[in-house]
Amino acid sequence: MQYSRSIEEHAATPRRLIVEDRAGELVIVGEDRQDVLITAQVTVHADDEREARERLAAVRLPIAGSRDTLTVGPPELPPGEPPLMQVLRHFGIQRGTQISIRIAVPRSVLVRAVQRAGSLRVSGVDGPCEVEVQAGAVQVSDIRGALRVETRLGSTRLADIGGDVLVDSRAGRVLADRIGGAFRVTARRGTVIARGIGGAVDIDARGGKVVLEDVTGAARVRTRAGSVEWRGKISAPVDLESRAGSLRVAVTPDSAFWVDAEAHAGSVRSELPVDYLRKPDAGAPTVKLRAHAGAIRIVAV
């Protein structure tokens, strides 16, 4: 059976917040406030109320503050609980201890958050912001500054990030919408989809599809096994390469560019209507396309 208790603490505003959770849900929200509010829900699995009280009492959420930094966690779990239990809990096996933490902070606080097994959500802070998840989902939105994300197993969802974004994803899908700065991704396994990128794009993907839409800056994409698709206006250099997969470039009629395309084992074909594009001048950007084992297509949006 499951048993739970709640924790609530207030703290003075730090310059930087460092949070680490072991298993559960971790939420950090920037608000118009002057202090830090920490709330947590501790859930344990026990055979009876006596065992539950003992296990709940054994769980502690360390909170330490200095003039510059507030540190929350990692939680101290009941003695003898196997570390693997945290991961099993994330995949629906209802055993072990789970702690859901919500922290409300002033928007100016710098954030570093680590989740070992579970979900992590951050929103409403001015940044910069660093997040890390070992097994679980990441969701970050409404960040004014730069963002760095590292995941081992799980999806990453980003939206409305004002600064540069750096993502290192070992296994899982990466979705990004409305990134104001540069967008750099290293993805070992999983699809990468990015829309509305204001800065340069640099993506290295070992296995998985890459989709780019409405990118303002220059774009460079390398995939070992997966297709690449581009959609939108071309106003800066584009460099796409796939070792085992097709390349598809869908362009708007207000684009003007030069093409340098080569398919080693496949065809190169433009399917644009006559007079669809503006005539490029000497300063127009170049679209460089390389497919080692796959077709290259240039089409209308």
pLDDT at 11: 92
Q: How far apart are CA 187 and CA 174, in angstroms?
A: 8
Q: How far apart are CA 54 and CA 224, in angstroms?
A: 52
Q: How far apart are CA 139 and CA 141, in angstroms?
A: 7
Proportion of the chain above pLDDT 70, given as a percent = 94
β-pair type (110-123, 98-106): unpaired
pLDDT at 112: 97
| Three-state helix/strand/coil letters over 206-254 | EECCEEEEEECCCEEEEEEECCEEEEECCCCCEEEEECCCCEEEEECCC
Q: 81 falls in which pLDDT band (50, 70, 90)? A: low
Lowest mean pLDDT among 67-71, 75-79, 129-133: 75-79
Return the closest-CA partner of residue 173 out of 148, 190, 197: 190
Average pLDDT over residues 93-109: 83
Average pLDDT over residues 284-289: 96
- Give me 26's structure tokens: 């971790």
Mean model confidence pLDDT for the chain = 91
Return the closest-CA partner of residue 241 out of 213, 271, 205, 215: 205
pLDDT at 86: 47
Instruction: Give the C-alpha distances (Å, rounded to integers) separating 11 from 4, 67, 72.
Output: 23, 11, 11
- Give me 258's structure tokens: 């030069």
pLDDT at 22: 84
pLDDT at 95: 59
Report whether pLDDT(79) > 80.
no
pTM summary value = 0.88
3-class DSSP state of 287? strand
pLDDT at 127: 80
Q: What does the radius of gyration of the chain's CA atoms come to, in whole angstroms?
A: 23
Residue 123 backbone zone (phi > 0: left; psi -120 to 50: alpha; other: beta)? beta
Residue 50 backbone zone (phi > 0: left; psi -120 to 50: alpha; other: beta)? alpha
Q: 166 falls in which pLDDT band (50, 70, 90)? A: very high
Q: 80 falls in which pLDDT band (50, 70, 90)? A: low
Question: pLDDT digits over 9-68, tens only?
Answer: 999 989 999 999 988 899 999 999 999 999 998 888 778 888 888 888 888 899 998 879
Return the closest-CA partner of residue 174 out of 215, 202, 199, 209: 209
Average pLDDT over residues 110-114: 97
Report whether pLDDT(88) > 60.
no
